[in-house]
Each structure stands twice: as C-alpha cells, then as structure tokens.
Amino acid sequence: MAPSTLSRITKALLAPALALGATVGLASAPAHAAVWNSCDQWGNTSLNGYTLYNNIWGSGAGAQCVWANSGTNWGVWADHPNTGGIKSYPNAKKVINKPITSIGSLTSSYNVTVPSSGAYNTSYDIWDTEYDYEIMLWVNHNGAVGPLGTAQGRVSLGGHTWDVYKGNNGANEVFSFLRTSDSNAGTVDILPVLKWIKDTKGWMGNETIGDVQFGYEITSSSGGLDFRTNNLTVSGG
C-alpha cells in the first residue's frame, strides 16, 4: 500500500494536464504492435471505455513505459531500483459512478503475465467518488511487499478467498484483500466485496463507487521487467 495515497490520487487526477511533461529516463517501450505507448511519467489515454495511466508517482523511481493494443490488452515495461517504497501504479480504469445499492452487478475478469522476480502486486484499486475509501484486491504479489493496516481475518467473497487488512494512510481508509494463493487469471465478483464491507462490517456507508482500477503496484523491477495484461474486462455497474 502506498505511503501517500493522496499523492497518487492528486497526480492521477492531474494526469491529463501533465501528460506532456518530462519523460522518465531514456527507456523506450518494448516492441509491440501497439496503438498507443508512452514513457511519460503521467502518460495517459482513453481506449474502448478504459483510461490507461503510466502513473509513476513514487520517489526514487526509474524508467517505465506503458503500451496498449486496446483498453483491455496492454502492458508495462519498468526498470525501478531495488529499494523500498512503491514507485508506480500503471493501471487501466473503468468509471462506475453509482452508489453501492444502485449497482446491480459488478464483475471483472483478468489474465496477466507477470515476472518471477521484482517486488510488486497485481491489484484492483477501487475508489469512492470522494476518495475517502480505497479497496484493494490483490490477485498476486511477489517480493517484499505487504498491505497497510492490521489483519482482520480471512473471508471467501466474489469467487476467491482473501486475507483482509484494514488501515488508514492519513488521507483515507484502506481495505486490502489479499488472495490466499496467487492467480494470473480469473473472474472477481466485486459487488459482494463492497456489500461485505458496507453491510457485514459497517466500515463504510452507501458510498458512490467512482473508479475500478486494475494494474501493478511496482516497488522494484531492477534491470527491466515486463508486466502484461493479456485481457481485462470490467462489466456491470
């Protein structure tokens, strides 16, 4: 979990204005027949109803480039040093903008290819519109990474079994769900997770869910590593 999630939010919101800013390093995107690619720190574009962000927000970051064949097929090459702290969260975002009780269904399917080295997690990052609550669903992770907050037990929801953590980073509440075994492909029923937080635990009210993001929180990827989203779909809302 990021030490300063507010920083990530602010920079993500400012991404369109900053997209023409300085590139990070001299790296170039890997050879793909991509319709879009960017090595800009805040590079972003919209494709097929998804918004893609390069999103290099952490201190001490190295070079990183994102490429996309579509909003649902994209990837990242990153070369971040072997130091602590999250360097980036390249992601694809789908906007929902509905209160939890107005959402009839909300599911997502993912298929990724991730490296066996480095320190990162592959995760959904789900936000309410006021950015008071952050819900993270880790489907896999590698290396020295861990969630913010304290353990709340284990629960089976949305087709998966998760270890749950609850914390606060000073800007918002953070609920992290870590899949008990790594997965590179699957389907998540997100709505039962939201209802469990709201109704079963009472940790939040009938919040309006704004963004469903999916990507890679990268802490280190020294030497350059590839993260590929072979397919991603977010449906419902």
Q: Which two tokens stand for residue 20?
A: 């023409």
Mean pLDDT of 7-32: 39
Find the length of the chain.
237
Q: Would the pTM count as exceeding 0.85? A: yes
What's the pLDDT score for residue 8? 43
For the record, the structure tokens of 126 come out as 């789900």
Q: Are the C-beta atoms of 16 and 44 separated by less than 8 Å?
A: yes
- The answer regarding whether domain 5-236 maps to CATH 1.10.3720.10 reads no
pLDDT digits (tens, 9 = 90+) for 139-193: 999 999 999 999 999 999 999 999 999 999 999 999 999 999 999 999 999 999 9
